[in-house]
Structure 1
Amino acid sequence: MLKPNKDLAIKAAINLTPQYADLLRDLQRGNGRAFFSAEIANIRKKLGDYVLVYDDERKIGRALFLAMMGEDGFKEFTAEINNTTPSEQQEFVDGVASPDNEFVKAFSSFEIPKTPSEWKAAREANAQLPEDERKELEKRGAILWCFLFSSFFNVLALMVHGSRMTTLVPQAIAGDDEAFLKAIQIDRMLFTHYPYFRDRKFTAQDEGDVAFLEQLAYRETNPPLRGKVTYPALYMLFGILDSFQILSDLKHREILDICDEAGLDRYQNRIEDVGYLTKRLGDYRDWQKFNGMSMHLNLT
């Protein structure tokens, strides 16, 4: 099995942290619920079937590669990879982390518009493109948004429940109701776009499964985030690194350097030095335990 490249994971964390921190702040403005700006909420509504990638972690990565390379480029890439040995495949994955790699350049240049004027400018720029180019950009843009939504909620689930959506959803489909409830609490789009989740709820209603419906009602009415996240960008960075399974392997000095590269203000995040970074990391782990324990206590 190919191993995640450490350098590529760090680059992804640096680039995604500002984007995902904004989404996390949107959640906080919605009292912990998925309450996004009108533009992002509309995109999510149109592309709700992104939840279908939750059944396989690899699909999230494929979505990113497909968005950046385009359909033809991705087919060529897949054909090339399939005709190489495992060691050669690992060499390719490691090479993707190079700063000169076109994939890395394209990924690093992406930024979600933050204001209505920025969204307007993006739409106007898109409208000026030739029709074929505009259609291709819109197609790849839709795939990129699928990656962003699925990846964001995957990280959020790991932060809140200690398990990714790509772990919870397969467990739920296998009959684990606790995993079902946790997944729904993180991303309720599952009810409208994932047949199993919709059918499981309907079955419970038809059969009068009161105990399950009461637990489901609790998860649906309680937001995944309990209490204010004091350092949203920092916690999101921790979560992203954790999702790549490298957070515990990094030295705290390395994490502090990553924070600097991601543009996190040391004073605002109370990470003035390695000692403070260590304290914030401990706070993050305590916050994870608090969220998980609070949900468990309220369901027992």
Structure 2
Amino acid sequence: MAKVAFLGLGVMGYPMAGHLKKAGHDVTVYNRSAAKAEKWVAEYGGEMAPTPAEAARGKEFVMSCVGNDDDLRAVCLGANGAFSTMQPGSIFVDHTTVSAKVTRELHAIAAEKGIGFLDAPISGGQAGAENGQLSVMCGGEEEVFARAEPIIAAYAKICRLIGPSGAGQLTKMCNQIAIAGLVQALSEALHFAEKAGLDGRKVVEVISQGAAGSWQMSNRYETMLEGKFDFGFAVDWMRKDLGICLDTADEIMATLPVTALVDQFYKDVQKMGGGRWDTSSLIQLLRRSG
């Protein structure tokens, strides 16, 4: 059993913290909205704290899953940030999707304090978090990863150290780049099937068993055909992530033409009022255009 703090109880963090408690760890949670923390404690037990600093006090591991670069800086370095009470030898594990730049910045500050820092963004969506089946891609030192991996295992189906600080975030960018193209291609295939008068379910039953098959096809085609888009990662958050990908691509001189195009398609979805729809809502643009 480890003493753990979990900062951020959104759609991902809430069940992830729950898996830590179910695994037998001593868990204290913090959330910007105290009502969510109260609900978590009522459901799982454990404790809640009014600030990141209080949540992190005396803990061996502090996990975070917040919104963006600024949110992460705030929970780490703010007036009541976790770094102010974490002890040398403790480890901060960040599951937020943020820039590699802020990750490396915080890693350096943590190192000065004798704190281990692991960037560990996640993939698998809300269902993966709820089922404890997330993919976790990590950046940091091997010895820090070796200590943290057994804790992360409470909600991971795979957890790998990719490289030094920032490597986890760069790998998550690869993940989002791949997803963007896949969802657009799936949307076009289903739209084409509809226009051709085909039964989309029969089409997917066949093509999903061949080279066209993907997680997106298996898990999203039904809801896409039904025009339901509240089953996963929101467009607003995807645009945040793709913005990080495109900014980083400029820095490292990578060329991402499909990613840039799909990012603009998601911008159009936002203009339609679909910012909180899930990412499979790209098909709605095709339906409205033709």
The TM-score, its normalising length taken from structure 2, stands at 0.25
Q: Which has the higher strand share?
A: 2
Q: Which has the higher helix share?
A: 1
Higher relative contact order (CA 8 A, sep 6+): 1
The TM-score, its normalising length taken from structure 1, stands at 0.25
